[in-house]
Amino acid sequence: MTRTTVPTAFITATDLLAAIQPADGGRKIFDPATGGTVGRAPVHTAADLDAAVAAARAAQPEWAALGHEKRSEYLNQAADAIDASAEALAELLSREQGKPLNGPNARFEVGACAAWLRATASFVLEPEVVVDDGESHAEVHYRPLGVVGAIGPWNWPMMISVWQLAPSLRMGNTVVMKPSEYTPLSVLALAAVINQALPADLLHVVSGGREVGEALASHPEIDKVMFTGSTATGKAIIRSSADTVKRLTLELGGNDAGIVLEDADPKAIAQDLFWGAFINTGQTCAALKRLYVHDSLYDQVCEELVQVAQNMPMGVGLDENNVLGPLQNKAQFDIVADLVQKAKDSGAKVLTGGNPESGQPGYFYPTTLVAEIDNDNPLVAQEQFGPALPIIRYNTVDEAVEMANGLDVGLGASVWSSDPAKAREVAARIEAGTVWINKHGAVDPRVPFGGAKQSGYGLEFGVAGLKALGTPQVISC
């Protein structure tokens, strides 16, 4: 099994589109910032899924036989291919998803794809000796599963695809991906670039609708499903996968809480608080979505956040000056607008934003900060997944922790304090898969990541993430 082609640099998004669009037909994909047409995506069917799975199944044994070292070489070559086409990938991503080129957005996402591949290639996974007492010896090994089905979201379509495909391939599996119907071009383009560096049939993308996703989740020849998306869809995947007892890794919805303790420095943390909440214009599963601030600091934190928010330009992503973009689709725009309106109707105070301009193209919702809001308000209790942050006042740490833990989700959370030891004490009381201190949403390829409660199960990233893409086998003698 050898690399089949020499990676070619795609110079522009037009070059990429020429490589991935169907010769005729397909489905129009629109730019959420301008309403213009980005390109056409193929409309695959369950039969196309069957063909992709069959090809991936046939290629998997030879790929698995290469071993970790050789597979890691291929992952590094794939990272090189991404670097060679990075600007074209970022341009297409910005046009399809809406996120700006600059800031923690399109260029950042493409760079993260290459970095994640290289990090995944570097992890050492050795057999684990669990007993060696002179009489018995037992080791745990991790063998490839076979074919992994990956279903991705529209908010970070390229990066989350790499989170799924990199460990899958590294562990000797092959991959069939189903991208979001909103952002298929980004994933098709990413796969086209990566596949320049990989042997044939290891990575397939099937661009279809809900019926394709349902067929993937129940497919008898798919051994594991990885999914990032809503809790409701995750539950449907669990049901669809039951008959074939598939392994699952589910990263589902979150409504991450942040707690600002009374010893925090509002000015020092304001910038990080802002990006914890508004990275990708708030369209991030592990973004800060409800902020609890001690009464003694409440007004100052609000003032500092307003200052930051009012200096962050929002607009079309291809404009180099912008760092915030539109909501990716009208359905999400309507959710954010409805939740903010409910907050207004309840008497909450809008500090900035809250009034989208009418008549302009694109799904732009202004950066919105809402104060003096009750904890049971829909903007707090429901995941907004957009650029609107409710700020809730509290008086005691016990009260803040109780409110933070009061929902049935627990993906991430954060504690903000000038006293690291005190922050750790509070962090240990929060029911979330990850709790950051003085930052929020800072994922790292070396650090395991997964949700608590209804935010999913299974771990991604690091050696733990590799193990989740393998079948443990105990060899005992």
Largest pairwise CA distance in the chain: 78
CATH 3.40.309.10 domain position(s) in the chain: 257-437
- Within its chain, how far is the Cα of 355 from the centroid? 28
Neighbour count for residue 123 (Cβ, 10 Å): 18
DSSP secondary structure, 133-154, as one string: SSS-EEEEEEEE-SEEEEE--S
Res 248: pLDDT: 98
Is 13-123+141-251 in CATH node 3.40.605.10?
yes
- Amino acid (1-letter code) at residue 405: N
Res 46: pLDDT: 96
Res 3: pLDDT: 57
466 half-sphere exposure, CB direction, 13 A CA radius: 24
Q: Two tokens at 242?
A: 């039951």
Catalytic positions: 251
CATH 3.40.605.10 domain position(s) in the chain: 13-123+141-251
DSSP secondary structure, 145-202, as one string: -SEEEEE--SSSHHHHHHHHHHHHHHTT-EEEEE--TTSHHHHHHHHHHHHTTS-TTS
Q: Which CATH class is domain 257-437?
A: alpha beta
CB of 175 closer than 8 Å to CB of 150: yes
Q: By C-alpha distance, which of 340, 361, 339, 359 is closest to 349?
A: 340
Hey, CA dihedral for 441, 446, 452, 456, is it positive or negative? positive
Q: By C-alpha distance, which of 190, 171, 370, 205 is closest to 290?
A: 370
Tens of pLDDT along the chain (477 residues) come to 655 555 789 999 999 999 999 988 899 999 999 999 999 999 999 999 999 999 999 999 999 999 999 999 999 999 999 999 999 999 999 999 999 999 999 999 999 999 999 999 999 999 999 999 999 999 999 999 999 999 999 999 999 999 999 999 999 999 999 999 999 999 999 999 999 999 999 999 999 999 999 999 999 999 999 999 999 999 999 999 999 999 999 999 899 999 999 999 999 999 999 999 999 999 999 999 999 999 999 999 999 999 999 999 999 999 999 999 999 999 999 999 999 999 999 999 999 999 998 878 999 999 999 999 999 999 999 999 999 999 999 999 999 999 999 999 999 999 999 999 999 999 999 999 999 999 999 999 999 999 999 999 999 999 999 999 999 999 999
pTM: predicted TM-score of the whole model, two decimal places: 0.96
384: burial class by Cβ within 10 Å (0-12, 13-18, 19+)? buried
